[in-house]
Structure 1
Amino acid sequence: MSDSTALCDVCCLRHLSKPSTGWCLECEEGLCLDCKEHHSLLKATRNHNIIPISEYQKLPQNVLEITRNCEKHNEVLQIFCKKHDSPCCRKCIIETHNNCKNLIEIEDYIKDIKSSARFQEVEEMMNEAAENIKRIRINREDNLTSLQEEKKRIENDIAQTRIKINNHLDKLQADLIQTLYAKVKKENGKIEQVLKSLEEKQGQINEYQNTFENIKKYATDVQLFLSIKLMETNI
C-alpha cells in the first residue's frame, strides 16, 4: 500500500493513524471504516462515490500522484484554458491566462469525459496500435516460415542436382549450401530482431491497455483527463 493511501486522511488530521479501507473519489481522500460510515451518512457527502482502497490502488503510481492542486501555486485547479490546453488555478489565470477567452470551468469541461470523442480517440489509438503490431507480427512469422520452407526446397534441389552431376560438382554443391545457410542465418537474424522489437511494443501496448482499463474504472475524472493527455503523447 502506498504512503499516500495507506492511512485515513481524516484520522491523520486528528493525529491518529488508522488504515484506510475506502477511497472517496470526490474528496480524493482515504477513509477508515469509521470515517467511511460517517462519510456515507453526512448530508454533504452521502452521495459521494467510495470504492475499496484495494481497487483504487490498482491505478498506476503516476495516476495516484495526480492531484487537483496546481504544482506552481498549490491552489485548486478550477479552470481549463482551451487555447493552451491546460488546467489553471486562480493565480494561473491572473499570471498567464488573463487575456485568454476560451476559459471554462474544469468540472464542466471534463463532464461526460468517458463518452467524449477525445476519450474514444485515445482508446481507438491504442487498439489500432495493438492491431497493427499483431498484423505485422503475423506477417513476419509467416515470412519466417516461408523462408524455412524455401530453404528446405533449395536444399532438396541441390541434393538432387548433386546426384545427377559428376563428382567434380561436389565442391560447387558445398559452396552453394554454405552460401544458402549464410543467407538464411542473416535473414533469420533480421526477422528475429523485428519480432523481438514487436514483442517489446506489444508488451508496452498491453501495459497501456491494462493501465487504461484501471484508469477508466477507478480514477477520478480529473485523473482520467490528465492521464489521457499523457497517454496521447506517449502513444
Structure 2
Amino acid sequence: MASNSAPELAYDEGNYITCSACKEQDKNTAADNYCVDCQDCYCSECLKLHETLPALKSHKLLDTDDDKICQLKMIPTKKCEKHNYKAVDMFCKNHDEVGCATCMATDHRTCKDVLYIPEMIRTSPDKECQESIAALEKQFYELLDRFKKEDSDLETNKQTEIDKINSYAKEIENKIKQAAEDASSQVEKRYQKLKSSVKENTVAIKEKFDDFEVIKECIGATTQNKSQAFVSFKLNKGKIAASKQACEEFSHIELGQRVQFTLDPNYKILIGNLIILGNVRIQPYSFVHKGSFDIRLPSDKFSIDIHGSCILSNGSIILADNKNNNIKMVDDKSR
C-alpha cells in the first residue's frame, strides 16, 4: 500500500536495495522491482503476492536498477484526500498552500503563482522549513534552560534565607528555636508555591516541546526528499505556528520571584509562650538604573562577552567575561 511518507530505498550491508515487505519481518532480501504506485520495493517472492491482488495488477513496476527510481524520490508522496488521493505536488505561492493538480484547478485557478513542487525545489531550494524548525527547537531549549536555572536559583535562594533565619536563631537560645522552625516552615510554604509554579510551567513547556518534536521528526524523516519535506512543513505549518505561539507565551512568564526573610525588630516581645521571629514573603527582583559601567580592564585582550551575572547581598554585581576568561566585580557603591 502507498504510504504518506517519502519513498526511502533501504540498503543492507551488501549495498543492494532490500525488499520492503521482507524488511517488515526483520529479513534482508534483495529487491528485484520497485512499485511506483505502492512506492515500495519487492523481491521476486513478495512480488508474486503483489501480482495476485486484482487492485494491484495495474500498478507500474520498475527494475531496482532503473534510474527513474532516483527521479521518483523527488516527487512528493503525500496523497490528497479531497481528490482521489492524487499526489500533493503543487504549491500556490499566492495563498502559501500546497495541494494536488485538481486542488489548484478548482481552488486556485485565478492565482498567478502556482508552481510544480519538484521543479520549484530543483531550481530554487526552499530553506524556510529547516530554518524555522531549527530556530523553534533552539527557542524551546533556551526556555528549558531558563526554567532549569530558575529551579536551581530558587533552591539556592531557599537555603540562603533559611541559613539567615538560623543565624538569627542562634543568638536567642531555647524559645527562639521554635520561632526559627515556624519561620522556616513559612519559607518552605512560599518556596513550594514558587517551586510548584516553575514545575508546572516546565512540564507545560516540555509537553509543547514533545508535540514539536513529533512535528520535527515527521519533517526530518523526509530530509532525502526535499519536496516531501516542503509538503510536510506546509501541512504542519499550523502546528508549527501553535508551537511558536506557545514559546512566545512562555517567554513572557515573569520570573525572578524569591523568598525573603526579614527580621522583626520587635522579635523579643513575647506573645504568650511564643516568639515571632519575623515575616516571610515573596519578593520580586527590582532594579534601578544608576548609570553605565565600563567593565573593560587594561589586561583584557578581547571584547567583553558576558555569559552570566550574580547580585551579592551587599549590592555588588559579579560578571562572567567569557572571552577574557575572568570574573569581574562591579561595586555600584563606589560610584
Task: Give the TM-score normalised by structure 2.
Answer: 0.48
Structure 1 CA distance for aligned equivalents of residues 103 and 142 of structure 2? 49
Give deviations 1:52-84, integer Å, cap 9, x for gaps.
xxxx9xxxxxx97x22x5723666667543333
Matched-pair contact (CA < 8 Å) for 2:90–2:100: yes
Indicate if the aligned counterparts of 2:147 and 2:198 stay in contact, CA closer than 8 A.
yes
Structure 2 counterparts to residues 16-165 of structure 1, below 5 A? 19=21, 21=31, 29-34=39-44, 39-40=63-64, 45-49=66-70, 66-67=78-79, 71-72=82-83, 80-84=91-95, 85-90=97-102, 93=105, 95-112=106-123, 115-116=125-126, 120-165=127-172
Q: Compared with structure 1, are the counterparts of its residues 228 and 26 closer, same or farther at alpha carbon in structure 2 (3 Å cutoff)? A: farther
In 2, distance between residues paired with 1:128 and 1:159? 46
In structure 2, the partner of 1:192 is 199
Provide the rounded CA distance (Å) in 2 between the counterparts of 1:151 and 1:91: 61
| Cα deviation code 1:206-232 (max 9, x no counterpart) | 333333221112x472x3332110232
Contiguous gaps of at least 5 residues in structure 2:
4-19, 23-30, 48-59, 241-335
Structure 1 residue 26 displacement after superposition? 6.5
Paired residue total:
199
CA gap of 1:37–1:24, structure 2 versus 1, over 3 A, is: closer
Offset of 1:131 from its aligned partner? 1.6
Gap change, CA 1:122 and 1:90, over 3 Å in 2: closer
Structure 1 residues 165 and 24, CA, compared in 2 at 3 Å: closer, same or farther? same
Say which SS state the counterpart of residue 215 (structure 1) adopts.
Answer: coil
Q: 2:171, 2:111 → 1: CA distance?
A: 86
Counterpart amino acid of residue 234 in structure 1:
K
Aligned-residue RMSD, C-alpha:
3.8
Bigger RCO (CA 8 Å, 6+ sep): 1
Residue 209 (structure 2) aligns with: 202
Judged with a 3 Å threshold, the aligned counterparts in structure 2 of structure 1 residues 77 and 153 are, in CA distance, closer, same or farther, namely closer
What amino acid is the match of 1:225? Answer: F
Q: 1:46 to 1:121 in 2, by over 3 A?
A: closer
Query: Mind listing any 5+ residue stretches in structure 1 that lack a counterpart?
Result: 6-17, 57-62
Secondary structure of 2:40's aligned partner: strand
The answer on whether the counterparts of 1:70 and 1:88 sit within 8 Å (CA) in structure 2 is no
Q: Higher strand fraction: Structure 1 or Structure 2?
A: 2
Higher normalized helix content (fraction of residues):
1
How many percent of aligned residue pairs carry the same amino acid?
A: 14
> Residues 194 and 172 of structure 1: is their aligned pair in 2 closer, same or farther, counting only changes over 3 Å?
same
Larger-gyration structure (1/2): 2
2:236 partner SS: helix
- Which amino acid is the alignment partner of residue 228 of structure 1? F
